[in-house]
Amino acid sequence: MRRHSGGHEPTASLKFLPAHYLFRILISALLLTFGHRLVLGSKHKTVPSRLPSFRETQSDYSFSEGDLAVLYCSVHNLGARTVSWRKASAPSPLIVGKMVFTADNRFQVAHVPDREEWNLLIKNVNHDDAGLYECQVSSKEKYIRRIVRVIVKDRPYADRAIVINGPHTVKRGESLLLSCNATGGKSAPSDLDWMKDDKKLTADKSGRINITKHISYVTNTIVSNLTIKKVVESDEGVYVCRTSDEMVKNVSIEVTGEGSENVKRTISQDAPATSCATSSTFVLYMFVFVVHCSLRYSQLVHLVLFFCGYLWRSQEFPIS
């Protein structure tokens, strides 16, 4: 009787394992090893290229007081990261994403998706806004920021001046329009008044006198328009424009002739003559109509002829 040693049993089992199973196991192990190394190598190579980067934009800005300051920041490959703005001398940010983290409502963010821009806006910029600003990107791999410098200059102010624009003569019945324009230099005058014969002019309830005012804080100018409708002789005189900071200008207005309102009144007085001519024309048309129908209405024709004779005698229907 033959005996089988226990040490030869594993060798016997491997010998009977099909060859194609061994081939598949070997190929799978090789593919897993190669794929693992390929993934690790790909991660190692692509992570640096996916980091955000700043596009080239202006780094030095100069504005005048009152301008709208726009600081540009364009980020490539931002992904899910957030852009924030802060002033270098301040501990807390001004803008994070689209959220404003300052109580100063002059600061806003303008996001332009097509150009990947996150621009900082500062309305009515002043000298306190000058300094260094940082456009930052939140990233675990690297601290990414771009620094820009802002310079704020004094606005070139116009010299103090006051002028009155408008006619020096106006016809009776027409409207008079005068405009006073006063520039106050660094700041606009707070108010402006119109005067005539040492009396302040005000708008009346009838609407004949109307006064409007407008202040521009960009040009530091106040403009006031005085309108007087249906001018009469008593509106003639010297008109004075005076600002709250004691700038004064005057103009002399002369009232002459008859305006368009008087021409209309003259035309209306001629209306009776026009009415008389219209009546004579109507009678003439009636006469032609009656003659046309004379064969049927002979008696009516005699009546009309009698009436026309009466008109001729009274000279209300002249014959040429």
pLDDT exceeds 90 at position 14: no
What are the structure tokens assigned to 286, written together? 């009636």
In whole angstroms, what is the distance from residue 159 CA to residue 202 CA?
A: 29
Mean per-residue pLDDT, 168-188 = 92
Q: Are strands 221-228 and 69-71 parallel, antiparallel or unpaired?
A: unpaired
Angle between helices 271-292 and 298-314 (to 10 degrees): 150
Question: DSSP letters along 113-161, please?
Answer: GGGTEEEEEETT--GGG-EEEEEEE--SS--EEEEEEEEEE---PPPPE
Rg (CA), the chain: 48
pLDDT of res. 266:
46
Beta partners for residue 224, in sequence order:
180, 213
Mean per-residue pLDDT, 266-271 = 47
Query: Is residue 144 very low, low, confident or very high in pLDDT (cuts 50, 70, 90)?
Result: confident
In whole angstroms, what is the distance from residue 169 CA to residue 179 CA?
A: 15
> What is the pTM (predicted TM-score) of this model?
0.45
Lowest mean pLDDT among 152-156, 176-180, 282-286: 282-286
Query: Is residue 210 very low, low, confident or very high in pLDDT (cuts 50, 70, 90)?
Result: very high
**3-state SS assignment for residue 241:** strand
Beta partners for residue 223, in sequence order:
181, 214
pLDDT exceeds 50 at position 46: no
Residues 6+ apart with CB under 8 A from 297: 290
Q: Are strands 75-76 and 53-54 parallel, antiparallel or unpaired?
A: antiparallel
In whole angstroms, what is the distance from residue 149 CA to residue 127 CA?
A: 13
Residues 6+ apart with CB under 8 A from 295: none
CA atoms within 13 A on the CB side of 181: 9
**Nearest 5°: phi and psi at 273?**
-65, -40
Beta partners for residue 76, in sequence order:
53
Nearest partner of 175 among 235, 103, 109, 251, judged by Cα = 235
Burial class (CB in 10 A: 0-12, 13-18, 19+), 48: exposed
In whole angstroms, what is the distance from residue 186 CA to residue 221 CA?
A: 10
**3-state SS assignment for residue 194:** strand
**3-state SS assignment for residue 92:** coil
pLDDT exceeds 60 at position 265: no
What are the structure tokens assigned to 29, written together? 């192990």
Query: Is residue 38 very low, low, confident or very high in pLDDT (cuts 50, 70, 90)?
Result: low
How many CB atoms neighbour CB 101 within 10 A?
14
Nearest partner of 225 among 150, 164, 140, judged by Cα = 164
Q: What is the SS3 string spanning 247-284?
A: CEEEEEEEEEEECHHHHHHHHHHCHHHHHHHHHHHHHH
pLDDT of res. 36:
63
